[in-house]
Structure 1
């Protein structure tokens, strides 16, 4: 039995409408951000020189780098939410913000759950001590000492792994590992003599030691594997194009020389980071 021309036309129109609606419903996170002209970002603004507060505004290396990336989102406003680091990744997973623009160390566990951009800086962990503490000359001297780091951080993980390494060598290991909400609190306790050392990334420690050489110094060599900081999105199809936009912007800043300029401005030195891939995390 043949369909009449009118019935066939109705079917064709219905099919076209269905295809249109399917495409309309396929808008991803980047499309929605462009439509709303608003990008909500999670940031921990207590991580100088990457992110810190100055006169009520978030400033630092990531702020300047973000401004370069946002050139590819004309008309879109970046709304940065300052939250404790411990709430950053859970907040992203819970969709409290669209993306994370704060310095997150890439680890195996995090890489399994989230989508990282290309690296923005090196994050290899070293030891910070008081300059007048002659008892700590090398990392192994921390055996029997009290060490602090930020709760939930990769730097804390490195401290724990270093403690196990010392014990495996027949040494007492660290006397205690104290956890802090922010690194600024750990630095204050170190300066006051309540800690013997803090585990933190070299890129953060360089500017700190330069600003306060009479108080702090770095113990060589580094105690962690070579790692990187990156920004983070959700690991799903909805977020894929937004993550790519950020990675593309970071790559452009890296190869164009702007990233090196910003590193010199905020760290006082440059770091060579890959512009075409994110190295597989070693920890």
Structure 2
């Protein structure tokens, strides 16, 4: 009987994602044992320092580096990430498998609706992309930086006197917190983080891991895989990350082609560049690179360089 160790972050959301992913695998492979192991990341240990500082100390991503290190060392056999937390390049010897479908990709405003918020309302979020997108639509809002797991951030509406907070709808749904959603923000104005709503299934590429990769391939969704690969290729070509305001969303059209929309914003939301392209689902990385080139030609790098300089100086 095969036995595998499955790593993830220690949050309730991460545990829910592991359960979601393993459920069909346990049904299909009843003689295979999957055991979960929680790994505390730098971003979970330090919730006060600026994210670039936490990432630097972590040696990479604040929300994935320790899990990837454990996987590389053979301490776990696979890791279930939130795909949006993962850098666009995997460490040598590791790879991503197709995710098993995708939850709601949209951001959710909790506490009210965007149009219904009072002038100067206090809205909690720590993500530069969300801050920029909110200010582009409602420059009067007062943004309050918040970090932490989903339930504590949601509770800050009460504990810190916020009018609303912005969270990923996928996380709220996976935790059974749908009732907290006041409004799902429209994708046209609020394209999500690349990969949002999808799981990042990371494994080793060595020969010994081949049997596990074969098992996991049975639950992979090739259409979703193409969509998130296009989004992440767009982000990679812009040399972006979670510290700069980049949003992207790809979806498969009825004819099987891939439609990718992307957005780059200044941190204060005063400047936004948006574009969209359609291309074959068989070449998602080429589509992502082509869309990034379109926005670079329109000045995206100038906006992102300014955002990086501001975040780095903070």
Give the TM interval when normalised to the shorter protein: 0.5 to 0.7
- The question of 1:183 aligning with 2:150 is answered yes
Contiguous gaps of at least 5 residues in structure 1? 1-33, 53-57, 149-155, 256-272
SS in 2 for 1:109: coil
Q: CA RMSD in A?
A: 4.2
| TM-score normalised according to structure 1 size | 0.53
Contiguous gaps of at least 5 residues in structure 2? 44-62, 236-314
How many aligned positions are there?
A: 203
Aligned to 1:98: 77
CA contact (8 A) 2:39 2:67 kept: no
> Displacement, 1:207?
6.4
Alpha-carbon separation, structure 1, partners of 2:136 and 2:177 = 36
Q: Cα 1:88–1:166, aligned 2, differ >3 Å: closer, same or farther?
A: closer
> Displacement, 1:81?
0.9
CA contact (8 A) 1:116 1:233 kept: yes
> Displacement, 1:248?
1.5
| TM-score normalised according to structure 2 size | 0.49
After superposition, give the CA deviation of every residue in 1:213-240 in whole Å (9 maximum; x if it has no partner): 3x54224314233635123324644576
SS in 2 for 1:119: coil
SS in 1 for 2:191: coil
SS in 1 for 2:171: helix
**1:64 aligned residue (1, 23, 26):** 23
After superposition, give the CA deviation of every residue in 1:5-40 in whole Å (9 maximum; x if it has no partner): xxxxxxxxxxxxxxxxxxxxxxxxxxxxx7xx4311
Alpha-carbon separation, structure 2, partners of 1:143 and 1:240 = 54
SS in 1 for 2:224: coil
After superposition, give the CA deviation of every residue in 1:76-134 in whole Å (9 maximum; x if it has no partner): 42220133464654223233322113x4124772444452221221462413321xx46
Q: Cα 1:243–1:207, aligned 2, differ >3 Å: closer, same or farther?
A: closer
Alpha-carbon separation, structure 1, partners of 2:147 and 2:107 = 17
After superposition, give the CA deviation of every residue in 1:179-230 in whole Å (9 maximum; x if it has no partner): 11x212112223545434333332333466x7663x5422431423363512
